[in-house]
Amino acid sequence: MNGLKDLPNVWRSIKELDLRPIREEALQDVKIVLVSRSETDKAILLHQMRHDPNRTSIETFSPILAIDYHGDNEVLKTALGADLLILLVDETIADSSLEESLARRWVDSGRKILIILYPPAVDEPQPTLSLQNQWMGWGKNVVLHGALIDKQFLLHQFVPAVIDALPSKQLALGRMFPLFRLTISRQLISDSCFSNAAYAFSTGLAEIVPTLDLPLNVADMMVLSKNQAFLVYRLGLTLGLSTRWQDYVAEFGGILGGGFFWRQVARQLVGLIPAWGIVPKVAVSYAGTYVVGNVVLQWYLTGKQLNRQQINNLYKEAFQHGREVALKLAQRIPKPSFPKRKSGEYLLPAKNAKLCPYCNRTNAADAVFCQYCGSKFEI
């Protein structure tokens, strides 16, 4: 079993892990095809995808196959092997049957498609309702409606739709096209926070056995720290940073490998105190992961690292959210059933046991805190 003497080996253990699968995932090709009758419209969307709206100086030159479409049957052959086809339809055209025919053939071939109906410029003719109705049957997850230069439309509709269409290529999508980076990064942080919280909750159930407390907590810190390091690496790859993990240790080591790490270790030791229960430990695991992820994200957005006060404020906010996650996880555990009296009332397993009013679980008669949800009993 792991002991306290093993804690300094956390980063050494991380170094020994094989990060190649994560790197290969981020470096894989994302083949997107833009199809439109207008060369200008394709150029507008391509420009938006290659620029980060949060950092206007960021630009990539990732390849996209852009096709001018006028009913050419060779489009399907040219776009063979594409991961996603984005079809742009100008609402001012009188008839979009050519685009609809292409879309149906593309879907019938088993490929993914995203259709954007974009409105005209101010001085151009307004679209007809018949054209809009023509595409309604495709569903809102396939057909989007908005201007190609509208940042809100791009960030809140277009970006999520593309990410959902390419679930296995999110790291590569963000790395190639900066428009998607912030949304993907926040999703990575959220997923990692919940994953670490769920792990801490599952091991916390085992720690009810006092003799197992110390080994499990030390092992947990190793696992959680590795998961946080993986998050840092995934974020960096998504944000277009170096593929060498050594560069991350050098850039963020002062926070991830120094004071913040050991302060979090100290916080996680609250799991060793039986009276505190599972909830604080889950909240600590969630909050620590949230802070680690946002340190990297804020550095990308601003070029600066967060100071200690900013980190502490971020941690306090995330801790409260983590506590809410822990309580929700606790509610999913099946409640124990007790034999019923003839009157329909439940029997408690012990005469003087305390029943928690928050999670309805029984505790020792002298308990001050609920060992399951961490709530304090009224004296």
Exposed, middle or buried: residue 5 (CB in 10 Å: 0-12, 13-18, 19+)? exposed
Q: Which two tokens stand for residue 22?
A: 């994560």
Please state which of the four CATH numbers 3.30.70.1060, 3.30.350.10, 3.40.50.300, 3.40.50.920 is assigned to the domain occupying 31-165.
3.40.50.300
**Backbone phi, then psi, for 207, in 5-degree steps?**
-75, 0
Residue 123's pLDDT band, with cuts at 50, 70 and 90, is low
**Average confidence (pLDDT) over 215-229:** 69
Distance CA(178)–CA(52), nearest Å, equals 5
**Residue matched to tokens 């894989």:** 28
Element (H, E) at 77: helix 75-78
Exposed, middle or buried: residue 75 (CB in 10 Å: 0-12, 13-18, 19+)? buried
Q: Is the pLDDT of residue 267 over 60?
A: no
Identify residue 284 by its one-letter amino acid code: V
Q: For the sheet containing 84-90, what is the strand order? A: 65-68, 32-36, 84-90, 113-118, 143-145
More confident residue, 376 or 91: 91
Q: Which region among 172-181, 198-207, 225-234 has the lowest average model confidence (pLDDT)? A: 198-207
Domains of the chain by residue range = 4-23+180-272+281-331, 31-165, 337-379
**Average confidence (pLDDT) over 335-352:** 52
Q: Read off the pTM.
A: 0.76
Exposed, middle or buried: residue 361 (CB in 10 Å: 0-12, 13-18, 19+)? middle
Please write the tens of the pLDDT for every residue from 47-56. 999 999 988 8
Please write the tens of the pLDDT for every residue from 8-44. 444 454 455 678 889 999 999 999 999 998 889 999 9
The answer to whether residues 48 and 162 touch, using CB atoms and an 8 Å cutoff, is no
The answer to whether residues 290 and 296 touch, using CB atoms and an 8 Å cutoff, is no
Mean pLDDT of the chain: 76
pLDDT score for 44: 94
Q: Which two tokens stand for residue 351?
A: 């005469």
